Amino acid sequence: MRSTIKLQLLFSSCLLLALSLTGCKSSRRVNQPEILTIENTATESGMAALPPCLVYKTRADYASNVPVLLNKQKTAIISYPAPSDLGPEGKTAIPVALEQGYLLDNRGIAPNVAFLKYTYKEYASLKKVPGKEELFKNIIDKYPLIELWDCGTRSTENCDIERLNKLIREDFPGCKSIVLMLEPPSL
């Protein structure tokens, strides 16, 4: 009798375990919303990671021009700085010149960057920022990037000028190519 009870308990336990593992599933399909995938900027601790150390080259000299970010279609500005974001006379945002015409980003560019006719100094002295439509009319190049490299987390060590120039000379070993335009659109 005891062995029968043990056998029934064992069978019941196995049945409960099997049911709990399979769970309840509906045959009805629910449409999932389309999700835009953005590179994860959170660390394991949940804190936001530091921005990347970006090195880039443009097809013309835009080192003194203010960058803005465009939508994917390059039909509208989605991000632009306030004059105060550029520091006094724009000096803290100006990119650092590196070897072979490369620049170290100090502003926060991205693959969909465009450059305005405004220099950092002119823009930083504006009392009021023009609207997005007016800024869009003042874009001098919607396709300025030839190359854009992610050279690690933005830190004093990773953004060291000597280190970056060495990476340039060695063709960016260990860096991630974000943009490599073989034939940029004509000006």
45, part of any domain: no
pLDDT tens track for 119-169: 999 999 999 989 999 999 999 999 999 999 999 999 999 999 999 999 999
11, part of any domain: no
- The residue that leads in pLDDT, 37 or 140, is 140
Contact 137, 45 (CB under 8 A): no
Phi, psi of 48 (to 5 degrees): -70, 140
Domain span holding position 116: 54-180
Tally of structural domains, the chain:
1
Phi, psi of 17 (to 5 degrees): -65, -45
Percent of the chain clearing pLDDT 90 (strictly above): 64
Percent of the chain clearing pLDDT 70 (strictly above): 71
Q: How confident is the model at residue 181, as a pLDDT? A: 82
